[in-house]
Structure 1
Amino acid sequence: MPLISTKGVYGLTAMYQLSKHKEDTPVQIKEISSSANIPQNYLEQLLSKLRRAELVRSIRGARGGYILAKEPKDILVKDILIALEGDLKVIDSSTENPILNIFFDEAKENTKKIFNISLAQLDDYQDKYNEFLHYSI
C-alpha cells in the first residue's frame, strides 16, 4: 500500500491550485476540478475534509467557492495529508518485535519531517522543473 493514496495526491494538488490563485475571490469547484484534473464529485469530498480541518474555507453563493483558510506559508503539506489520510503511516499495525516497532516509529517521524514544508515552499520545485525542461530540450 502506498504511503500517500490518490486522496492525498488529489487533495494536495487542489490545495496547491488554491495557493496559486492570487485574487481574494473564491475559486469555484469546477475550476479547481478542471485545472487539477480531479473528478468534481471526489474533489467535493476532499474539500469537505479540508474544510473540517480548517485548511480551506467555503464561500456560498453565485460567486462562491473555496479559498485557503490561511496563508500558503502557514499551511504544511503534512497537515494536508494527515487531514485527508488520517495519518502518515509507514505500516498499518505494530509488530511483535519491539526493535522493529521502534524502527517503524522513527520512520514515521522522519516521514512527517519530509512533508514538513509549506504550500508556499512548493514553489521552490518550479526552479527544479524549469531546469529539467532546460536539460531535456
Structure 2
Amino acid sequence: MPLISTKGVYGLTAMHELSKHNPNTPMQIKEISKNANIPQNYLEQLLSKLRKAGLVKSIRGAKGGYVLAHEPEKINIGEILAVLEDDLKLVDQKTQNPILNLFFEDAKANMTKYFDISLAKLDEYQEKYNEFLHYSI
C-alpha cells in the first residue's frame, strides 16, 4: 500500500531545508544533502524534477545553488509530492469490491485535503516539536 516513497519524503525534506534558508542566498546541493541527510546524487535528481516543475530555481556559479521559486506560503505540499510521486495512491489498483473502491476514493480525497497546506505551514510543526522537547526535559 504505497503512499509516499523515499523520493517524496526526501524531496519534501529538501524543500523544507530551502524554506528555512535565506531566500536571497542559494543553498548548495552538498549543504542540503548534509542538513537533510539525503544522498547527494539522489538529491540532484529530485531537485531537477522540482526545477522542471517550477518549484525551485537553480543558480549557476561558484556561489550558486538552489532557492525556492516562490515564497514558502505559495508552495503547496501536495504539489511537491505530486511532482515527485506522480500520484499519491493508497492502493495500486482497483479492488473487486465496489464498496472498498468507494472507500479508497474517499480516503484519497481526504488525503489530498490533508496535503493541501503550504510549505510555510511546516513551521507550526517546528513549534510543536519545540514544545515537545520542552515538556520532555
Q: Could you tell me the TM-score, scaled by structure 1's length?
A: 0.95
Post-superposition shift, 1:95? 1.4
> For the residues of structure 2 that align with 1:3 and 1:135, how far apart are their CA atoms?
32
User: For 1:130 and 1:58, how far apart are their aligned partners in 2?
Assistant: 32
SS in 1 for 2:83: helix
How many residues are paired up?
Answer: 137
**Would you say the 8 A contact 2:12–2:77 is kept in 1?**
yes
Identity rate, percent: 72
For 2:67, what is the secondary structure of its paired residue?
A: strand
Query: How many Å separate the matches in 2 of 1:30 and 1:127?
Result: 27
Pair 1:36 & 2:52 matched: no
The amino acid across from 2:75 in the alignment is I
The answer as to whether partners of 2:2 and 2:92 remain within 8 angstroms in 1 is no
Aligned-partner SS, 1:89: coil
- Superposition TM-score, scaled by structure 2 size: 0.95
Deviation at 1:127, TM superposition (A): 1.7
User: What RMSD, in angstroms, separates the aligned Cα atoms of the two structures?
Assistant: 1.1
Shift of 1:99: 2.1
2:116 aligns with 116
Q: Which has the higher contact order (CA 8 A, sep 6+)?
A: 2
Structure 1 residues not aligned, in runs of 5+: none
Task: Give SS of 1:81's match.
Answer: helix
Which residue does 2:77 correspond to in 1?
Answer: 77
DSSP 3-state at the match of 2:90? coil
Q: Deviations over 1:35-65 (max 9, x none)?
A: 1111100000110111111111111122211
8 Å Cα contact 2:72-2:120 kept in structure 1 = yes
1:96 CA displacement: 2.1
Q: Which secondary structure state, in structure 2, belongs to the residue aligned with residue 91 of structure 1? A: coil
> Which secondary structure does the structure 2 equivalent of 1:57 belong to?
strand
Segments of structure 2 that go 5 or more residues without pairing to the other structure are none
Name whichever of 22-31 and 104-113 sits farther off.
Answer: 22-31
CA distance in 1, matches of 2:126, 2:57: 26
Counterpart amino acid of residue 46 in structure 1: L
Measured in 1, the distance between the counterparts of 2:131 and 2:27 equals: 30
